[in-house]
A and B are shown apart, each in its own frame.
Chain A
Amino acid sequence: MISRRRFVATGASGLLLGGCDRLNNSAQFRGVLRDAEKLTMGAQRLVVPRDALAREYGEADLSPIFRSNGTAMPGTSEYAQHLAENFANWRLQVDGLVSRPLSIPLQTLRSIPHRVQITRHDCVEGWSAIGKWHGLELSRILNAAGLSTRARYIVFHCADRFGDKPYYESVDLVDAFHPQTIIAWGMNGNLLTVPHGAPLRLRVERQLGYKSAKYIQRIEAVESLAGIYGGRGGYWEDNADYEWYAGI
């Protein structure tokens, strides 16, 4: 009886699934699904005010252990060198479509007044963790560099590699200039640890965790994402077909 029920269930779902898998392999159908994704982003941009803040929590809400994800240790010799030097020579490059390219020493970034926010990190896999982040608003860095009016995206180049591919991410100017979008150097009252992106990481609080790139070395302002690595705006977007807009 159970085997028959299972047989029927398997058969029925097989029909549906066979069709779905075939559809999923069709570039045309994937294009339709991708259009729905644009609809989602458009709708969210419509109902979410530009400066609507992600919820900020209290100290009591912090996750007891904030799990790390993705790279836990960038394996390059350059990074190992920086780690050995305690990041004393780490600099943040700001270039691309800016009038004043910058190379900011880490010490300078840490020494100017900064923002502290206790926010929730939502992973695309489904889990959430709450942490306290210390860092400089990205808008201040971009304003200091003098963003060109042609710039439409901000690209974050990272020190970690997946295989031979560097991690990178990008946001548009709505998120780049959001008051909670910060280049963080501290977490939960301490300097960032290596699994959480030492010495610098991005926090984009209204999108999923993979947008909040770690180990940031260079910020580049661009007009288009085409031509940058895989052209889809991020490592996971290029290599695992994740959505570039990760607001849901």
Chain B
Amino acid sequence: MDQAAATAEPIEEPVPAPAPRIAHRHRLPTRLWHWVNALTVFIMLMSGLMIFNAHPRLYWGQFGANFDHPWLMFHGRPIPGWATIPSTYNLAAARRWHLAFAWILVIGLVTFLITSLINRHVQRDLAPTPDEVKPKHIWHDVQEHARLRFPTGEAALRYNILQKLSYVAVIFVLLPLMLLSGLAMSPAMDASWPWLLDIFVGRQSARSIHFICAMAILAFIIVHLTMVVLAGPLNEIGSMITGRFRVPPERPQQ
């Protein structure tokens, strides 16, 4: 509006805004998995932080306890009650929540992966194209994000390269690493699948990697929620619930 007023163009009759185009995106398996995970991941993070409170030190290697050198160490119970499940110190209850909801997380992940390979969500929507992974393209997207200029029109219906990379990192790297490093902390699983200890080079390394991946997922959630808010939370959240997305109109060329 301001731009129109600033130019010397003759004032035109206002044209009625075209009816917003509604597109379908996020198929049902994606939407279901998203909301199951939204709940499950928070429960896993918060119960996991309570478990961390029981021994808030992290080590590298096969063993690690109070007399060994930690790479990360806190005193007392560092995680406040508002960030833990339950909110007062209770290792037994936190473990019970964590190990129960781990099943939901794992079953959801495996089901989503199988469904998304069959319905080609992974190949079509998540896999970056050769053009997209060129540094120039990625850098361009980074700049656009930094200016908070989000894709419009057709481009808004596809994941941009930064989205693809972060979703692929979470789905194919972080979540599988969480699962495997979690299993590597189980003495029974280590007996059955000794390779768990080998890939992480020890149970305490697996515990450290479990924590680091959890923090990476937390960082992803923070960025993810920030982007949802910046990109228009009602339309974004609505489309993740109903699958119907109001396509942002193309930006006028400058």
Binding site for B on A (CB under 8 A): 9-10, 13-14, 16-17, 20-21, 24, 30, 32-34, 36-37, 39-40, 44, 47-49, 52-55, 57, 61, 63-67, 120, 122-130, 205-208, 236, 240-243, 247-248
Contact = CB atoms under 8 A, between A and B. Distances in A.
* Interface of B (DSSP majority class): helix
B189 A48 contact: yes
Contacts of B189: 44, 47-48, 247-248
B86, B191, B192, B193: which has the most chain A beta carbons within 10 Å? B191
A127 B55 contact: yes
Interface residues of B, number: 46
Nearest to A35: B100
Given A44-B188, A126-B207, A17 B85 contact: yes
A14 B85 CA distance: 11
A240 B33 CA distance: 34
Given A17-B85, A36-B99, A55 B65 contact: no
Given A53-B191, A128-B204, A40 B99 contact: yes
Given A65-B67, A207-B187, A247-B186, A32 B192 contact: no
B43 interface: yes
Nearest to B86: A24
Contacts of A52: 191-192
Given A34-B96, A37-B96, A37-B99, A67 B85 contact: no
Contact of B65 (A10, A34, A67, A240): A67
Contacts of B23: none
B249 interface: no
Contact of A240 (B51, B92, B187, B207): B92
B96 A33 contact: yes
Contacts of A49: 192
Interface string B12-38: 000000000000000000000000000
